[in-house]
C-alpha cells in the first residue's frame, strides 16, 4: 500500500509501534495536528470484555473545552420551576414530545423525570439513534433536576464501550495545555477502571491511544500512567 507525502512526513516524527508516556504522547498529538481548525483530542481505551459484559457511565472532566450544552428537560408542571432555576434551555412535556416527532432536535442532551418516561419512551427510535434518549444508567432519568443539571452544565459526559470493547471519549482540544488534557485523560481512565465488571478476568485495560480529529493515533504506555 502506497502512502502520501503527509503520512510519510508524520512517520518521521514518531514510531507507530511505540507506546509513549502520556505527556510525550500529547505533545506528539499537537505536533501531528495540521488541520486549519482547533482539533479535538480523542481518547480510545480498548477493554478486555466478554460479549455479555458492558461498560457505561458518565464522567465530569476537570477541564472543560466545549461550549455550554443546550439541555432539554421533560417534566410535569410541578417540576418546571426547578428545571428553569437549574438552567434548562428547554422545558416541557407533551408539547416537546410532539415537536421532536416533527423533526426538531435543537438540543445537546435530554433529561426526563421518571413519571415522564412512559411518554418519552415513544421517542426511542428518534432519540436513541442519536444518543439523546434519557437513561437511568447515565443519570438522565431523575427527579433531582437541580443536581443533574448542575453536573451536566459542568460538562458531565457519557462514555460507553462499543461492540468491539473500545471506549471513545473526547478529552480536550489541541489548543489546550497538555497538562490539562492529561488530567482529563487520567480522570476518564480512572472512571473507566471503576466500572470494571465484577466478573472481568485478567488485565482490564488492553491499550490506550490518543489522537486529534485529523491526526494519527499515538499509543500511550498503560504502566506509565498507573
pLDDT tens for each residue of 149-174: 998 988 888 898 999 999 999 999 99
Q: What is the crossing angle of helices 22-32 and 178-194, to 10°?
A: 120
Q: Of 3.10.20.440, 3.40.50.2300, 3.40.50.740, 3.40.50.790, which CATH number belongs to 71-154?
A: 3.40.50.790
Q: Please state the domain extents for the chain.
A: 16-64+157-225, 71-154
Phi, psi of 111 (to 5 degrees): -125, 145
Q: How far apart are CA 153 and CA 66, in angstroms?
A: 10
pLDDT at 141: 96
Give the pLDDT confidence score for residue 21 in this predicted structure: 94
- Spatial CB neighbours of 40, under 8 Å, sequence gap ≥ 6: 65, 170, 172, 173, 174, 212, 213
Q: Contact at 8 Å (CB) between 218 and 46?
A: no
Residue ranges of the chain with pLDDT lower than 70? 1-12, 223-226
Instruction: Please give the span between the terminal C-alpha atoms of the chain, in angstroms, as a whole number.
Output: 37
> What pLDDT was estimated at residue 138?
85
Res 1: pLDDT: 52
Which pLDDT score, from 0 to 100, does residue 137 have?
84
- Taking the C-alpha atoms of residue 117 and residue 119, their distance in angstroms, rounded to an integer, is 5
Q: What is the pLDDT of residue 5?
A: 59
Whole-number pLDDT of residue 99: 96
pLDDT of res. 155: 81
Model pLDDT for residues 105-145, shown as the tens digit of each residue: 999 899 999 999 999 999 999 998 888 999 998 889 999 99
Superfamily of domain 16-64+157-225: Ribosomal protein L1/L10, rRNA-binding domain (3.30.190.20)
**What per-residue confidence (pLDDT) applies to 9?**
62
Amino acid at each position: 500500500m502506497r502512502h502520501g507525502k503527509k503520512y510519510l512526513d508524520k512517520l518521521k516524527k514518531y514510531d507507530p509501534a511505540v507506546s509513549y508516556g502520556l505527556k510525550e504522547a500529547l505533545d506528539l498529538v499537537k505536533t501531528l495536528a495540521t488541520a486549519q481548525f482547533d482539533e479535538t483530542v480523542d481518547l480510545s481505551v480498548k477493554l478486555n470484555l466478554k460479549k455479555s459484559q458492558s461498560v457505561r457511565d458518565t464522567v465530569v472532566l476537570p477541564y472543560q473545552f466545549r461550549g455550554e450544552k443546550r439541555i432539554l428537560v421533560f417534566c410535569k408542571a410541578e417540576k418546571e420551576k426547578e428545571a428553569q432555576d437549574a438552567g434548562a434551555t428547554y422545558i416541557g412535556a407533551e408539547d416537546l414530545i410532539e415537536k421532536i416527532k416533527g423533526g426538531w432536535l435543537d438540543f445537546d442532551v435530554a433529561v426526563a423525570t421518571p413519571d415522564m418516561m412512559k411518554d418519552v419512551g415513544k421517542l426511542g427510535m428518534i432519540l436513541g439513534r442519536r444518543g439523546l434518549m434519557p437513561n437511568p444508567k447515565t443519570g438522565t432519568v431523575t427527579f433531582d433536576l437541580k443536581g443533574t443539571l448542575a453536573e451536566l452544565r459542568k460538562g458531565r459526559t457519557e462514555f460507553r464501550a462499543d461492540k468491539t470493547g473500545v471506549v471513545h471519549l473526547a478529552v480536550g482540544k489541541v489548543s489546550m495545555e497538555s497538562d490539562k488534557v492529561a488530567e482529563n485523560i487520567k480522570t476518564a481512565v480512572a472512571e473507566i477502571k471503576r466500572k470494571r465488571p465484577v466478573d472481568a478476568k485478567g488485565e482490564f485495560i488492553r491499550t490506550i491511544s490518543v489522537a486529534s480529529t485529523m491526526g494519527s493515533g499515538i499509543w500511550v504506555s498503560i504502566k506509565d500512567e498507573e
